[in-house]
C-alpha cells in the first residue's frame, strides 16, 4: 500500500513538473520577415491602401501607399494596440501600440510609443507614398508588431501632444498579418 501511494505521489510530481515546463515556454509569435496590412476605410471615408513591413538588419522597412486622402496634407500614422477594425470609427483598435510604456513621440525619438510612425504626407491627388526604415520596430520577439492594427488619421500628428499627437478621428484601419513572401 505504501509503495502504491509513493508511486502515485511520484507520478503526480512528475506530471506537475511537465506542466510547469509547458507553461514556461514563452510564445514569441510567428517567424517571418514580411508582414502586410490592408487599409480599409472607416465609416464615411473612402481611403484605401497597402502597408508592407520587411525585417532588415537595421530594423523594419515600412512601405505604404494610401489613396483617397485630402490633398497636400499630413495624416497621423500609427500602429495601434489591437488588430481590431470592427468598430465603424475603428476605435476598437484601441490606443497606440506601446509595450515599452513610453510617452507619445515621433518615429525618430528615443522616447516614443513603438507604434509612433509619424505622418503620411499626401500629394496633390491625395495619395501618400512613404518608404522608411524604423530602427525600433521588429517582426520578431516579444515586441513583434504582427497582429496589431494600423491606423491612418484625419489630422496631422503633432508628435508631441499626449497621448496620441492630437491626430483626430480614424480614416482607415488595417491589421498587420504574416505576408506571403512570394506574392
Catalytic residue IDs: 78, 80, 96, 104, 113, 116, 153, 170
Judged by CB under 5 A, the stretch of 38-46, 63-71, 77-85, 119-127 that binds Cu ion is 77-85
Q: How far is Cα 23 from Cα 140, in angstroms, rounded to an integer? A: 20
Residue placing its CB nearer to Cu ion in the complex, 5 or 162: 162
Size of residue set near Cu ion by CB under 5 A: 2
Q: How far is Cα 141 from Cα 43, in angstroms, rounded to an integer? A: 34
Residue placing its CB nearer to Cu ion in the complex, 63 or 81: 81
Judged by CB under 5 A, the stretch of 55-63, 73-81, 98-106, 133-141 that binds Cu ion is 73-81
Sign of CA dihedral 78, 79, 80, 82: positive
Residue placing its CB nearer to Cu ion in the complex, 30 or 70: 70
- Grid coordinates representing 101 are 510604456
Q: How far is Cα 137 from Cα 103, in angstroms, rounded to an integer? A: 16
Closest separation in Å from C-beta 165 to Cu ion: 8
Which of 39, 51, 139, 151 is the binder for Cu ion (CB under 5 A)?
Answer: 151
CA-CA distances (angstroms) from residue 116 to 3, 15, 45, 176? 63, 45, 23, 15
Closest CA to 93 of 76, 107, 105: 76
- Grid coordinates representing 165 are 499627437
Contact call for residue 159 and Cu ion (CB under 5 A): no
For 18, the enclosing helix (H) or strand (E) is: helix 2-24
Which x/- pattern, by CB under 5 A, does the window 30-69 give for Cu ion? Answer: ----------------------------------------
Residue placing its CB nearer to Cu ion in the complex, 78 or 156: 78
Which of 75, 78, 113, 156 is the binder for Cu ion (CB under 5 A)?
Answer: 78
Judged by CB under 5 A, the stretch of 20-28, 31-39, 54-62, 78-86 that binds Cu ion is 78-86
CA-CA distances (angstroms) from residue 182 to 33, 34, 178? 12, 10, 12
> Which stretches of the chain bind Cu ion, using CB under 5 A?
78, 151
Amino acid at each position: 500500500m505504501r509503495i502504491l501511494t509513493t508511486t502515485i505521489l511520484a507520478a503526480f510530481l512528475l506530471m506537475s513538473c511537465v506542466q510547469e515546463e509547458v507553461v514556461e515556454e514563452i510564445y514569441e509569435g510567428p517567424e517571418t520577415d514580411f508582414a502586410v496590412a490592408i487599409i480599409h476605410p472607416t465609416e464615411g471615408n473612402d481611403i484605401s491602401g497597402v502597408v508592407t513591413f520587411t525585417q532588415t538588419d537595421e530594423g523594419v522597412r515600412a512601405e505604404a501607399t494610401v489613396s483617397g486622402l485630402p490633398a497636400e496634407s499630413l495624416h497621423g500614422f500609427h500602429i495601434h494596440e489591437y488588430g481590431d477594425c470592427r468598430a465603424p470609427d475603428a476605435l476598437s483598435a484601441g490606443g497606440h501600440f506601446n509595450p515599452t510604456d513610453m510617452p507619445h513621440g515621433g518615429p525618430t525619438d528615443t522616447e516614443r510609443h513603438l507604434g509612433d510612425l509619424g505622418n503620411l504626407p499626401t500629394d496633390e491627388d491625395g495619395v501618400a507614398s512613404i518608404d522608411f526604415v524604423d530602427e525600433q520596430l521588429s517582426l520578431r520577439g516579444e515586441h513583434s508588431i504582427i497582429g496589431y492594427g494600423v491606423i491612418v488619421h484625419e489630422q496631422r500628428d503633432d508628435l508631441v501632444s499626449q497621448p496620441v499627437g492630437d491626430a483626430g478621428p480614424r480614416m482607415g484601419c488595417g491589421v498587420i498579418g504574416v505576408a506571403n513572401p512570394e506574392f
